[in-house]
Structure 1
Amino acid sequence: MSIKTTTPAAMGPASNGGRLSTLDSFLPLWIIAAMAAGLLLGRLVPGLNTALEAVQIGSISLPIAIGLLVMMYPVLAKVRYNETRRVLADRRLMATSLILNWVAAPAFMFALAWIFVPDLPEYRTGLIIVGLARCIAMVMIWNDLACGDREAATVLVLINSVFQVFTFGVLGWFYLQLLPAWLGLPTTSADFSFWTITASVLIFLGLPLLAGFLTRTIGEKAKGRQWYESKFLPKLGPWALYGLLFTIVLLFALQGDSITSKPLDVARIALPLLVYFVVVFAAGMAIGRALNLGYAKTTTLAFTASGNNFELAIAVAIGTFGVTSGQALAGVVGPLIEVPVLVALVYAALWARTRFFTH
């Protein structure tokens, strides 16, 4: 996938040499600053958590939803939707993605949860829920920064969304009750809300996807593809970065007190998450390389398999076990680890591009 723009804040991202553009190169600094600002706000501004939690649609925070929509819309407006048939025709990519996302990754997180926190059932359950929530939002950002295949990412995310709605509850029952019982381990009862899962998919993917599709369709019809991609998208692109940073600030402000007051607990939750993200990403890259999928599709496969839908995991944990539960804390630690780790994996993917893949 050739990169035609070096406009940094367009969230697209790297230059032709496989390097991040100048401003994108400092993305880890912006993210660290956003995380720190969120933690400080959560600790220093009285009543901020209560105010943010009070503005909700169901169990979904409205400010976080707005941030995610602003983040997702520019990325989905870049997708060339008339090329999705090409992606669907790639049966190796489709089959591999389904196996990684819905068989290998949840099973791996189940194993990690029992290995690292066998004595802490609340955190263990929270980690398993994170493993079941496949990524449908931020993965578009990481994939775009690493020069992955945008059309492939959109299709895989859509497939993950459908599976998420219909299989999340079943897999939750399997990994929290049935499988532990088979293995002679303690079980956890959890009643997952079908509406919570469906609402997450519709809000965090459905709305920006529809907006992105209509924007490209109407824009190209009115002005042509050349104008749309060379004039319109560079102006729209920076909003993805703004939305990402805004979302991170809010997430960490909401749970700043929990994170800073329980550092040892956060560390115990963070370690299996770190192993999970790195190992699943590396497996996706290795499998894609072995199948000769090419760099762009391989990168998309790796990011869609390793990323998680933390907004859904948090919503499910809060709705099922309560806002102050250990399960909810595990969900919150998810983005604390996922964001910086997947940013680092963007650099790892770009490094691998020039060494293990032919252009």
Structure 2
Amino acid sequence: MSDHILSGGETARPSIGFVEKYLTVWVALCIVAGVALGHLLPGVFGAIASAEIAKVNMPVAVLIWLMIVPMLLRVDFASLASVGTYWRGIGVTLFINWAVKPFSMALLGWLFIGWLFRSWLPATQIDSYIAGLIILAAAPCTAMVFVWSNLTRGEPNFTLSQVALNDAIMIVAFAPIVGLLLGLSAITVPWGTLVLSVALYIILPVLLAQFIRGRLLAAKGQGGLDALLAAMQPLSLIALLATLVLLFGFQGEQIIAQPMVIALLAVPILIQVYFNSGLAYMLNRLSGERHCVAGPSALIGASNFFELAVAAAIALFGLNSGAALATVVGVLIEVPVMLSVVWIVNRSKGWYERGAAVHAASIGRTPQ
């Protein structure tokens, strides 16, 4: 998952380890284990759920930090200087992430949860479900992006630049976008808790990761950073899987009791993923961007920073809220759905490169 910088500035593609290769299997096992343990040991999970400070669950917060910080150590904000090299892909991804995805999810949430499925859902949780879907879509993925990019043989420098740019934007844009859309959904926004979530799960991890990265590079160079990333990678994945066990343990009773609710919440999430990835892929093709950029662009445009979404939903509405359940449904389908998008991107490479704009750009001329 990490990027290894070679001499001359070339970036090697990260290798996929055993755990990452079968990530869907491990995720499925953790989901089953979490639901089963939550059902069998409700007292234990209730005690863990009650370990809160300012509505922030501390065990979940620690696990999320263990996931986020290793990922952010890979982000070199100096790479933002090279964003112009991939201006088409960068522009498409930014448009999808910040101008389309949060607003399309708000519309889909209102359409499906607030209207079409309303009679099949608990009336008291409708607004909370919609809030969870909005929170889920408001932050673009940072952690799993490196895996998706590698699986599509994506351009690693583009992926790194895009993640760095998204993280920089997310620091200032996440709270206002969520606040705006939740306000439009007639939900009272607890701004203090929302700002605390942004500080806890974005600003502080970014600052810590950049501090560690800078000190390590100064002391030991790129080799030292690569060694640390290799050592922390298993810890990050273990934290991801442990978080899934906890989250599905917290929601285990609701999941078992409300399978119809889970299925209905999955509908707008699935539509959102395929719509945004497809739109990003097509816009890159029309603009003449290379396939190795279009693939990760489509995946970044569609995937969600579910660690932040879950944490924010829990902090804003509580562990047992409809919002928390909606974000957990996002976790439930994130990996298998994104793997299906990877399959589509890889299988369609020949079709993509036959596009007039892509062909023209590849031979250095502009299509008429």
Instruction: Check 1:137–1:91 CA distance in 2 against 1; reply closer, same or farther (3 A cut).
Output: closer
Aligned to 1:307: 303
Distance 2:321 2:17 in 1: 41
Match of 2:365 in 1: none
The residue number in structure 1 matching 2:162 is 152
Distance 1:84 1:316, change over 3 A: closer
Residue 166 of structure 1, aligned match among 173, 176, 187: 176
Given the alignment of the two structures, is residue 102 of structure 1 paired with residue 105 of structure 2, yes or no? no
1:71-115 CA-partner distances (Å, limit 9, x unpaired): 122222122332222227865555434432333223322332344
In the alignment, which of 33, 39, 44 is matched to residue 35 of structure 2? 39
Q: Which residue of 1 aligns with 2:192?
A: 195
What CA distance in whole angstroms lies between the structure 2 residues aligned with 1:296 and 1:251?
34
Cα gap change, 1:346/1:52 in structure 2, threshold over 3 Å: closer, same or farther? Answer: farther
Alignment of 1:113-262 (within 5 A): 113-117=109-113, 118=115, 119=118, 120=121, 122-123=125-126, 126-134=129-137, 136=139, 139-147=142-150, 149-174=159-184, 176=185, 189-229=186-226, 231-262=227-258
Unmatched tracts of structure 2, length 5 or more: 6-11, 151-155, 363-368
Once the two structures are overlaid, the 10-residue window that deviates more, 255-264 or 319-328, is 319-328
Taking the aligned partners of 1:212 and 1:339, their CA distance within structure 2 comes to 25
- Summarize deviations over 1:257-305 as a string: whole Å, max 9, x none: 1011111121111122122122212222222333344455434433343
Going from structure 1 to structure 2, the CA distance change for 1:62 and 1:125 (only over 3 Å counts) comes to closer
Q: Give how far 1:246 is off.
A: 1.4
Distance (whole Å) between structure 1 residues aligned to residue 2 and residue 35 of structure 2:
38
> Secondary structure of the residue that 1:140 maps to in structure 2?
coil
2:264 is aligned to: 268
What is the SS of the residue equivalent to 1:139?
coil
TM-score when scaled to structure 1?
0.79
Question: In 1, distance between residues paired with 2:207 and 2:74?
Answer: 13
Residues in 1 aligned to 2:65 and 2:248: alpha-carbon distance in whole angstroms: 18
Three-state SS of the structure 1 residue aligned to 2:189 is coil
CA RMSD of aligned residues (A): 3.3
Percent identity, aligned pairs only? 27
Tell me by how many angstroms 1:26 deviates. 0.9
Q: CA-to-partner distance for each residue in 1:121-156, whole Å, 9 max, x for gaps?
A: 634652354235446585322334423512321211
